[in-house]
Chain A
Amino acid sequence: KKALDQQPQGVVSSDDLNTPVNIEKMVIAAYSSLGDESIVTPNSLWSWGSLRSGDALKGGDGLGDNSGWNDYEQFVTNRPNNTYSDQMWAQLYNGIARANDALVRVNAIDVAVFPNKVSRQAELRFLRGNFYFMLKVLYNKVPYIIETDPKDTYIKISNDILTSDALWGKIADDFKFALANLPESQADIGRPNKYTAAAYLAKVLLYQAYKQDDNHNVTSIDQALLQSVITNCDLVINSGKYALSDDFAKNFLTQYENGPESVFAIQYSQNDGTKYGRIDMGHSLSYTLNADFGCCGFHVPSQDMVNSFKTDNNGLPMFTGYNDADAVQGTDFMNFNFDPRLEHSVAIPGHPFKYDAKYIFDRSWTRAPATYGAFASLKDMVPVGDPSFQRIPPFMSSSKNWEIIRYADVLLWKAEALIELSRETEALPLINQVRQRAANSVALLKKPDGTYPSKYKMTTYQPGVNATWTNSFARQALRTERRMEFAMEGYRFFDLVRWGIADTFINSYLVVESTKHPYLKTAHFTKGRDEYLPIPTNQISFSKGLYKQNPGF
């Protein structure tokens, strides 16, 4: 009998993992899901949030290179069998499963032997909430599973049990628990604290506030929730722990990571005992094709977005007319006024690349300029020679952290809530705070001769002087500010859907942009359908038809 007893080698059983030390490790495993991604499933969500929004074009080597992304960009050919939609779905549920697995253990252990119990419970629910937030904005209707659901009942949990609003409520519950139970500060910088939870809760409540019907129409904006957004944002603002970085650039440079503006970030690393480091694979295809990099030229800023950085003679953004004339390269950018955040967000032919005055970005670095233009996305790249740069042939990326929430976001969420509560006057200083910092952030943009590659002119809103701060003006100002501040960071599409303007904005964008990039002529956003991804065919099959497809697919 004994001859047949073979102990599993090099593995552990579930029961082995209920010691305090191992439970801490299970918590870490849940954290690591924040950075577990592939080249086609970025946790920054750029391929869904900035690609489909008018901010970015797919890029890469023609339409067929990662054609699943082309299907996203075309909308009409976005089919339920798009493998990226399926892979991302699985990736996010992997994160949820890790959080749930650890939660079961944390819930069961006595606080006497595990003093961090309450904090860890809160952290895990924070992480779970993060992954559900991502699922919600991507797919809308998703199965909601928590640690108390037995594994064998998962097959019975459909994606349409909860209404959209109820699902938002569940997600908010995790952050409310986190807010109530997290300490004010944590020894480890990667762990959320009370204020991180407040910030994320504010974000969730803001999304929840815009009530959607089954066809994704925004039907009303919940005033109580907006008030709650403000309360939570105020918690963060008044904590004194956070501030805008003095220079916008510091949010996108490795040496300043975990700075004052970072509320919550994915902590990447390198030379950490793994072959290539636990690096930002989600942005690895953004790098350009010059001799120092080599691949792959995706995530290309659109002409519309570049133009949208234009400012008027007062140094304010142009809500209309910005797209009437193009700035494409070199000295084109001296012909108009610009918001300096352009130079932080977009690599422009003939301009210094990533704050290196002598390192000039060139059209020849780009992959398929005839199709996608010759811009590149800067925030996701690190400069040449940066110690966080990491090759992972044939790709490359870096261990630079990626911000999930930065303080500017908190300020603008509060401003948004205030405006929707018709308290636009209170929103003004918040927006101006963000603008003032941006206007000041030109120190790193100088060319060797001390001049700037573009003509910057940017000021704050000064009602009565350069603007009339009505509610509708303020709303436009807020929405424009978000686009400039978070350009290429992967939020734009979800903002548009939240505001209920995705179809109108994107279709009018496509009309103009397709004259410059003809491949977009076939693209069209279908209202009531394209606000969300389809539920992946694979998951409908694996659920044996339990999951209900989203409308229109």
Chain B
Amino acid sequence: QQKTVTGTVTDKQMNQPLPGVTVKSGGQTTTTDVKGKFSIAAKIGENLTFTFIGMEAVTYTVTADAAPLSIGMEYQPGNLNEVVVTGYQTQKKADLTGAVSVVKVADIKDVRVGSATKALQGRIPGVNITSDGSPGGGTTVRIRGIGTLGNNDPLYVIDGIPTKRGLEEINQDDIESIQVLKDAASASIYGSRAANGVIIVTTKKGKKGVNKIDINASTSIQEYAHRQRMLNTDEHGRAYFQAAVNDKADPNNNQIYQFDWNKDFDNPVLNKVVLPQFVDAAKTMKPANTDWYKEIGQASVIQNYNLAFTNGSEKGNTYFSTSLYDSKGIVKQSEAKKITLRLNTDFNFFNGRLKVGENLNGTYAKNVLIPIGDVLFTALVQNPIVPVYTVSGGWGGPAAGMTDRQNPVRLINDNKQNHNYFGRLTANVFADLTIIPNLHFNTSYGVDYDGTYSRTLQKSYSSGFLTDPSNLVQNSQNYEGNLLWQNKINYTLSTSKHHLDFVIGQESIKYNNQGFFGSRKGYALENIDYAYLDVGTTNINNGGSGGAYSLLSYYSQANYTFDNKYLLSGTIRRDGSSRFGSNNRYGTFPSISGGWRLSQEEFIKQLSFISDLKLRYSYGQTGNQETGNYATYGLYSAIYGTDHVFDRDGGTAYDISGTNTGTLQSGFVKIQQANPDLKWESTKESNFGIDFGLFDQKISGSVEYFIKNTSNILITPGYLAVVGEGGYKTFNGASMQNKGIEAVLNYDGRINTDMSFSVSANIATFRNKVTALPSEVVTAYAGNGTDQVIIGHSINSIFGYVADGLFTTQDQVTNSPSQPGKGLGRIRYKDLTNDNVINDKDRTYISNGNPDFTYGLNLTFKWKDLDISAFFQGVQGLQVYNSYKTFTDFTSLWPGSNWGPRALQAWTPANPTSTIPALTLANNNDEGRTSTYFLENGSYMKLRNLQIGYNLKSVLKSIKVQNARVFVQGINLFTVKSKGYTATDPENPGNGYPLPVIGTLGVDLTF
């Protein structure tokens, strides 16, 4: 029996009508209209099939029931129809022609480490993210290598608002989607600031018909993942002894240790290290065996709570959330606390023709101002013989014979009362008017301001020979922010074969910052409740500064699709920046890209195993304006005095009249030279891409190849000293090329409705070289300025000496080229110039500073309500400069410091196979110089995340819980590193905050 079946097809996930769905009955085929509606003739008992590319087909058996059907469709893995935000427009993933990576937000959903970017580490090929373990959570994001000098941070666009501030300050649970625009063609719509790539973040919105509450809570314990072991008191004494006898110097000639030994320099035997009764002359400190890392470290707790309400109807939608993230650091007393609040609403008027809404995000953060860098450094270098406390309970500290560095426990204790307060408000209001169907006018006005405030009390102290009887209170306050106004017109034209999206728009941004501080000394009480400026009595001091820039941009973009097969897209953007000279303010950034969906061609359709195949090419140009706000100007500043504790005083005040005190006469000093010709740095990039899907997208992936040429790189090089202060001049300097390949491969193993697994792997590699180098900037790069310049080398190159092992026989010492300070057990440097002298001419490029490749591997497994995932990330073939070695291997480079256990294995005539230079008290051979001795294999693979979850929703059905997942998670559970790397963590070769290992217990509830 023939009847007409009508109904609506919707996207189940988005809860929106799906146009273009193919509906097939026995004898007829039709497609749904823009409202997802269809009408088709069918017989009762016959099957209707609904198919749509990228979605799971739905089959419906026609019944006699006359009511309209409501068909919900779900995306297949591979998500070809997933909607991707590509700038001021959205596109279907299938229609993309540029290199756009879509982050699977679900993969990082429960990886709450303080910042969404941290959680993304290793998940997107070509996006290199590094971070340290500090509770505040700093990350560095590099897209497709190093694109420029100076600022290499990508541009973040959060709900349409561009910012350079990263994602640390937004609630990760508010994120709906993250897209990374990697190639210039995709990014060029953001023109001026897109050269380092663009990360687009869209936050969650209310959805029609959705009414739910999400609760997420987790608690974690974190602890050092890797800890640098340093010498204990006895070992430190032994190392000192060895160094002294190597130098044929009386080892007992020192302020701390005495040695019971055989007094034979040729065959020294140490019987015992004798400790003094007291470490200091004042007899306040008994010798200790302090493990400073233990004293400053702690296992600490991270707490994370999120509460979100979603509500949607015909008239409007609301998403409201609040979160608390509180991370106590693995350094005692360190803590970062962050509270966020988000309200995203939109309202529909005039039958949906006018949509008005806003996105609002407030962030409040409070950090304890422990000088973490100093604490970690002093824990590394402070001598183990120094006790934490003196016999009378005061602070232990360095005594004669030791480095003048603070007791790290004191640093923690004397600063724990100091806090930094941070607030950021990001808000935009927007209106979207449908002028005629498919023609939208959209305007948005936004503010993005943040402010910091701190009040710190610096207490008086006495700690070993370091003392400061004065106290100081400093207040400082800074704010910065943007005002943004965006206007755009979107037009969509769709016929059965042609589809055109068009946007034209304008955007203006005004940025400014201001800050000031005040400080006083002379406080009667050292109590934070007392420590306000008013009650300080001496050394009244203050200061302040500010800056501003503005941007004005016009842009247009068109995307055209023919027959779902041929894709073409073009962009043009014209940007003006106040940072450039008046003749060069504007830069134009065009792009063009095309795609060919081979899988839509009949000859491919015959190959049924191919479910998707697309070839893409794009070419685009982006810009970079990251330089000083006023870099074109020659400027002078009235610098009264500068901080001269460790640096040269650069002030201009002078006591010309010999009064010794009071306000002095002062002047101005040049701070930079003018370059009125300064212009945009630009990047031109070609991207070749292929997307493929096999066996109904069971296997899918993509490969990208890019060539990125950056020219007119903005740089402010160091300068010839005769120019004097303020010789800095910003140039459009070198050109550089990055070439690379990125690949992603996904396998979706759906065994049955209960059990599935997936594997997702990515790999990326790039090669970088400097291709042109104007003479003004030659000396800004590694090299010697004359015959060794960086052209043809990677911008990250390290320039130094080649360490050629150690001198192990007197013969070698005698018959080697002249090298001041050479001797037995000393490092032998290679005579590259063969002139029989080791000098600065013997330096060369010793490492390119880049890895061979980076990779990530994500594994998931699901069985009914159980899910398990594991994520590995790694870097291969990187030579890192291990600066820790200056502490661990040498007694001479940081003489009054503590040293590492490698020092005990150093070369001696009795230990002739050691590759560690003989210990010495005097660095006569200048072994701290940049050389291959410090280069080590920095390859590693880490288990970043292992997670096991179980959803209790079937157990809790009775109480209307939609979702109730509990999970346990481990972060940074293990690291595989090369034996050649002698410090702890090759990811962190400097002296950063160590990455912690984190264990988490959490729950996600949805009502």
Contact = CB atoms under 8 A, between A and B. Distances in A.
Interface of A: 3-6, 8-14, 16-17, 22, 24-32, 34-39, 41, 61-65, 67, 70-71, 74, 76-77, 79-81, 86-87, 89-91, 93-94, 96-98, 100-101, 143, 145, 151, 154-155, 157, 187-191, 254, 257-258, 267-276, 278, 281, 289, 291, 294-297, 362, 364-371, 388, 391-395, 399, 401, 518-519, 522, 537-545, 553
6 contacts: A4-B576, A35-B649, A64-B894, A94-B724, A190-B654, A191-B656
A366 B654 contact: no
Query: Which 6 A-B residue pairings sit nearest by Cβ, starting from the closest?
Result: A97-B724, A29-B667, A64-B895, A274-B641, A364-B281, A370-B253
A31 B577 contact: no
A100 B726 CA distance: 14
Given A3-B552, A11-B636, A294-B467, A269 B648 contact: no
A367 B519 CA distance: 33
B929 interface: yes
Contacts of B646: 38-39
Contacts of B67: none
- Residue from A87, A188, A394 whose CB has the most chain B CB atoms within 10 Å: A394
Contacts of B671: 11
Interface in B642-678: 643-671, 673
B475 interface: no
Given A32-B653, A275-B539, A518-B249, A93 B724 contact: yes
Contacts of B722: 93, 96-97, 143, 145, 154, 157
A143 B661 CA distance: 37
B655 A545 contact: no
B924 A367 contact: no
B115 to A, nearest CB: 31
Given A31-B656, A91-B648, A543-B785, A4 B585 contact: yes
B508 A3 contact: yes
Contacts of A271: 538-539, 661-662
A371 B896 CA distance: 14
Contacts of B921: 62-64, 519
B785 A36 contact: no
B718 A542 contact: yes
A274 B922 contact: no
Given A70-B922, A541-B786, A544-B778, A64 B724 contact: no
Interface stretch (B120-128, B400-408, B904-912): B400-408
Given A4-B585, A94-B725, A519-B249, A272 B635 contact: no
B41 interface: no
A64 B922 contact: yes
B913 to A, nearest CB: 26
A281 B645 CA distance: 8
B19 to A, nearest CB: 41
A26 B667 contact: yes
Contacts of A16: 636
Contact of A36 (B466, B552, B651, B721): B651
Contacts of B761: none
A74 B924 contact: yes
A170 B793 CA distance: 44
Interface in B543-570: 545-552
Nearest to B657: A188
B402 A5 contact: no
Contact of A289 (B253, B465, B545): B465
A3 B820 CA distance: 60
Nearest to A370: B253
Interface residues of B, number: 113
A6 B549 contact: yes
- Residue from A155, A274, A276, A540 whose CB has the most chain B CB atoms within 10 Å: A274
Nearest to A22: B668
Nearest to A258: B658
A11 B630 contact: yes
Contacts, number: 351
- Residue from B406, B508, B638 whose CB has the most chain A CB atoms within 10 Å: B638
Interface of B: 247-250, 252-255, 281-282, 400-404, 406, 462, 465-470, 508, 510, 519, 538-539, 541, 545-552, 576-578, 585, 629-630, 633-638, 640-641, 643-671, 673, 718-725, 775, 778-779, 783-786, 820-821, 839-840, 891-896, 921-926, 929
Contacts of B658: 188-190, 257-258, 267, 401
A94 B576 CA distance: 36
- Residue from A13, A100, A269, A553 whose CB has the most chain B CB atoms within 10 Å: A269
A154 B722 CA distance: 7
Given A151-B673, A542-B719, A32 B630 contact: no
A270 B661 contact: yes
Given A35-B649, A274-B640, A518-B249, A98 B468 contact: no
Given A187-B657, A539-B720, 16 more contacts: A3-B576, A4-B578, A17-B668, A32-B652, A38-B644, A64-B892, A64-B894, A70-B923, A77-B821, A93-B721, A98-B669, A257-B660, A269-B655, A272-B641, A291-B462, A370-B254
Given A77-B820, A542-B719, A544-B779, A399 B400 contact: no
Contacts of A370: 250, 252-255
B894 to A, nearest CB: 7
A31 B635 CA distance: 20
Contacts of A79: 820, 839, 926
B400 A366 contact: yes
A63 B630 contact: no
B667 A11 contact: no
B819 to A, nearest CB: 10
Contacts of B629: 6, 8-9
Contact of B468 (A369, A391, A542): A391
A139 B778 CA distance: 25
B649 A190 contact: no
A63 to B, nearest CB: 4
A272 B641 CA distance: 10
A543 B961 CA distance: 73
A25 B667 contact: yes
B482 to A, nearest CB: 13
Given A28-B667, A32-B651, A65-B896, A190 B656 contact: yes
Contacts of B585: 4
A365 B281 CA distance: 8
Nearest to B652: A29
A541 B886 CA distance: 26
Nearest to B467: A294
Nearest to A96: B724
- Residue from A86, A98, A270, A401 whose CB has the most chain B CB atoms within 10 Å: A98
Given A151-B673, A273-B663, A394-B466, A62 B401 contact: yes
Given A67-B922, A267-B654, A155 B465 contact: no
A281 B467 contact: no
B654 A31 contact: yes
